Chain A
């Protein structure tokens, strides 16, 4: 039985590589209109979890379900997910205009949405350039467009906010929030707790491939024994780095 109304559910995701449990029974679900931030220390398994979620890695056990049905083939996953990988720059030789046009065609994005994203992500001045000529932040903005312009129910973003200055970040957070408000479910791995605080409706905290906590920021704060505390303190407390309520 699935969780009613969930855009996607992950159930019991388990992955072992070289004898190490990279994911160990991860469960969560995300609803349309919701932004779920996946947080955790380096090496916690965030990227692996997202890759399993979108079908690019096959877990040893567990399933990803959409509409009550377990997704199997890559084509099934492609109908559900738009994905922005971390640190995977678009091909250097391709012009930004070609990349944007390709994403529009693949995603069947309405022209108005494509135009809005182009403007809000500040891509219009870049369309004449090739991807290889872009700065890191510009490349990330293009990569965000490629994921957000796809008309898929769930948008999965791996470290989408890391490359931006505070001013740009406000714009980017607003764009992502707007896609969620338009009915998409957004799952984003986030390294900076302050970013997660600004964007997330709920937070999934994982460590060593296991779910440490899952809920709203308030629920996590209560669980950590630090109601109303900033997410960073809650994070440290739940991981045993200080504060009350650290997991056993």
Chain B
């Protein structure tokens, strides 16, 4: 069964065209990132301290994978929907289901084929990282693999989404459009952060792909993130299975679809609440200093942080990404509330004297600050708990500035804009080319 489905997925020209286009997007992101990284690296040539800021994960890997994210979001549905949708379009799905005897086996085989069809797209994103290494750039294995794992999970989610969309629509075009529309809905949630008209969507941040992908891109392996992507993919596969049950009466099929949606919504909500995560970055730079982590874990009392900052306030984003993300790595149970999020249509005029406070509660005691500094907030937690601030020293991350210029840069451009996309196209041509029929 899989052999048949793999042929449908891999011998389609669109599979390789999408892979080549994806490789161009990824390659472009990579070239821009390396040029920026090079410009910065030149200016820190003589400063060890400034060199420590040069982090290839943030400076090269993440922007490169940004191209993959775009390609997976907008192009992958065209490929992943095909194995189911093309047979529906041609009218052969029913006969196949009867032949195999089980709609679920057919849908699962087609989902696996979708994943295989997206492998060339994903491989196109690995090539620039190999080029980076060949150019002498640094990549820490664990953190890079973590970032790649996040994007692989996203790929699985989009493949399941496209399969589900294909099960409920009649043509490849309809299925791809539906899947891309759902991806765009997730983007709308992300846009809510800086766009007042979509501010009402801000509360749905837990439903955004970016929310769950970001920790991976920062080198932290979040159990909740893994669970969220897998729960989403399984929920969508359940929806795809229901969609393929054309023997069911419409009412019963709709009821099962609603049950699958409700079940996945519960699973996604549950996964969002799973906090444990592991910092896999080199020198554990995504974490607080080791002594602080140990001391925070030794505190028995629950920790609560109240943020009196609006969602679109840049200080809030800084606190969340720099301070609270690290605090949660040490203490996954930390409770975070943002009371201002409950206001309808907040405006700057509504901000009173209490705006900008960070209130810390440890056990029954409470203190507050207006500073958004990491050290200040952690100090406050220990002060509130009546404990001294532990040793704040952190393993030194040496930083890896790298200048890519001259012939090396020309080689990089050739590979990113020519070599990888053309290699994928050539491979596609070889795989999809009609065979000479025996006379």
**Which A residues contact B (CB, under 8 angstroms)?**
51, 54-58, 73-75, 77-79, 81-85, 87-91, 93-95, 98-99, 101-103, 105-107, 125-126, 128-130, 132-133, 146-147, 150
- With A56-B94, A107-B99, A132-B434 known as contacts, the answer to whether A91 contacts B249 (CB < 8 A) is no
A35 to B435: give the CA distance in the assembly, Å: 38
Instruction: Determine the residue in chain A with the shortest Cβ distance to B249.
Output: A58
Instruction: Name 6 A/B residue pairs within 8 A (Cβ), A-sorted.
Output: A55-B247, A58-B247, A79-B101, A82-B98, A95-B7, A150-B99
A residues in contact with B90, CB < 8 Å = 88-89, 91
Nearest CB in chain A: distance from B162 CB, A: 17
**Counting CB contacts under 8 A, is B393 at the interface?**
no
A residues in contact with B102, CB < 8 Å = 74-75, 78
A81 to B97: give the CA distance in the assembly, Å: 11
Question: A128 to B438, Cβ gap below 8 A?
Answer: yes
A95 to B3: give the CA distance in the assembly, Å: 10
**Counting CB contacts under 8 A, is B92 at the interface?**
yes
Nearest CB in chain B: distance from A196 CB, A: 22
A56 to B173: give the CA distance in the assembly, Å: 23
5 nearest CB pairs, A to B: A93-B11, A88-B91, A78-B101, A74-B247, A56-B94
A75 to B3: give the CA distance in the assembly, Å: 22
Question: B4 to A94, Cβ gap below 8 A?
Answer: yes
Instruction: Determine the residue in chain B with the shortest Cβ distance to A96.
Output: B437
A82 to B248: give the CA distance in the assembly, Å: 20
A130 to B7: give the CA distance in the assembly, Å: 10
Question: B435 to A102, Cβ gap below 8 A?
Answer: no
Which residues of chain B from 58 to 100 have a CB within 8 Å of any chain A CB?
86-87, 90-92, 94-95, 97-100
A residues in contact with B248, CB < 8 Å = 58
A56 to B92: give the CA distance in the assembly, Å: 11
Question: B92 to A130, Cβ gap below 8 A?
Answer: no
A102 to B5: give the CA distance in the assembly, Å: 10
With A93-B12, A133-B437 given, name 16 new contacts (CB 8 A): A51-B94, A55-B98, A56-B246, A57-B246, A58-B249, A78-B98, A82-B98, A82-B99, A83-B94, A84-B95, A85-B95, A91-B7, A91-B92, A94-B4, A102-B1, A130-B435
A82 to B432: give the CA distance in the assembly, Å: 30
Nearest CB in chain A: distance from B260 CB, A: 18
Nearest CB in chain A: distance from B376 CB, A: 61
Select which of B7, B103, B435, B437 is within 8 A of A98 by beta carbon. B7
Nearest CB in chain B: distance from A55 CB, A: 5
A residues in contact with B432, CB < 8 Å = 93
Question: B86 to A54, Cβ gap below 8 A?
Answer: no
Instruction: Determine the residue in chain A with the shortest Cβ distance to B101.
Output: A78
A residues in contact with B435, CB < 8 Å = 95, 128-130, 133
Q: Which of A94, A103, A147 neighbours the largest number of chain B CB atoms within 10 Å of its CB? A: A94
A103 to B98: give the CA distance in the assembly, Å: 11
Instruction: Determine the residue in chain A with the shortest Cβ distance to B11.
Output: A93
Nearest CB in chain A: distance from B99 CB, A: 5
B residues in contact with A125, CB < 8 Å = 438
Nearest CB in chain A: distance from B105 CB, A: 10
A13 to B102: give the CA distance in the assembly, Å: 24
A150 to B434: give the CA distance in the assembly, Å: 29
A residues in contact with B12, CB < 8 Å = 93
**Counting CB contacts under 8 A, is B238 at the interface?**
no
